[in-house]
Amino acid sequence: MTSLMISQSSDEEQHALSLEIDESGQLFVIDRVADDPPVPVRVRQCFPWSDPHRHLSLRDASDREVAIVDDPAALDEASRAAVARALEIAGFVLEVTRVVAIEEEVEIRHWSVETTSGPRSFQTHLDEWPRTLPGGELLVRDVAGDLYKLGAPHTLDRRTRDVLWAFVDL
């Protein structure tokens, strides 16, 4: 399927495509004109991070962009509700309270952290660096695509800063 736009800029496309979500939380893009089978997709939030509910990339299992939603407010009510629910599911970000250790292996970093939900371990690629968000917080994406948010470096405990010093500008 070619990349299609779901936005206010084209009423024809807006009415041709719609979004649905099933009881398991799987989001689907449906092309009403072509009458193709529904395409299962996942939501990927695009930049800017300061406006996380706009500019949404809808990607299939091969990580190909199937459609992009510039503004969910422009969608029909059912599609808007489906994308809102998908964002709730995709928007699960673990809040890191402390970094215990970061160990490097070939092509992978192993992180041991404490979160508001308890201790966690995850892996990142060696070329995946923490990103600084507009408020100064740090965001880390693991190899599975899960997000981990840390406070701004100056708000972190001494041990966490000591572990992170090689990865971010403290």
The answer to whether the Cα torsion of 60, 63, 68, 71 is positive or negative is positive
On the question of pLDDT at 12 being above 60, the answer is no
Q: Which of 39-43, 47-51, 95-99, 109-113 has the lowest mean pLDDT?
A: 47-51
36 with 8, same domain: the answer is yes
pLDDT confidence band for 14 (50 / 70 / 90): very low
On the question of pLDDT at 91 being above 80, the answer is no
11 with 73, same domain: the answer is yes
Task: For the chain, give the percent of residues with pLDDT over 90.
Answer: 31
The per-residue pLDDT for range 117-153, each reduced to its tens digit, is: 889 999 999 988 888 887 888 989 888 778 898 988 8
Rounded to whole angstroms, the Cα distance separating 84 from 127 reads: 31
Q: Average pLDDT, stretch 4-16?
A: 50
Report in angstroms the alpha-carbon separations of 142 from 29, 74, 76, 108, 126: 26, 32, 33, 10, 11
97 with 73, same domain: the answer is no
Task: For the chain, give the percent of residues with pLDDT over 70.
Answer: 85
> Does residue 69 lie within any of the structural domains?
yes
pLDDT confidence band for 8 (50 / 70 / 90): very low
> Does residue 113 lie within any of the structural domains?
yes
Higher pLDDT, 41 or 49: 41
84 with 8, same domain: the answer is yes
Count of structural domains within the chain: 2
> Does residue 169 lie within any of the structural domains?
no
Q: Average pLDDT, stretch 23-33?
A: 85
> Does residue 97 lie within any of the structural domains?
yes
**Boundaries of domain holding 115:** 93-164
On the question of pLDDT at 90 being above 50, the answer is yes
Select from 90, 125, 144 the last residue of a domain.
90
On the question of pLDDT at 82 being above 50, the answer is yes
Amino acid 36: pLDDT: 83
CB 32 within 8 A of CB 26: no
Amino acid 52: pLDDT: 67
CB 157 within 8 A of CB 98: yes
Per-chain mean pLDDT for the chain:
83
74 with 98, same domain: the answer is no
108 with 148, same domain: the answer is yes
18 with 82, same domain: the answer is yes
54 with 25, same domain: the answer is yes
CB 138 within 8 A of CB 130: yes
> Does residue 170 lie within any of the structural domains?
no
- The pair of structure tokens assigned to 76 is 């029909």
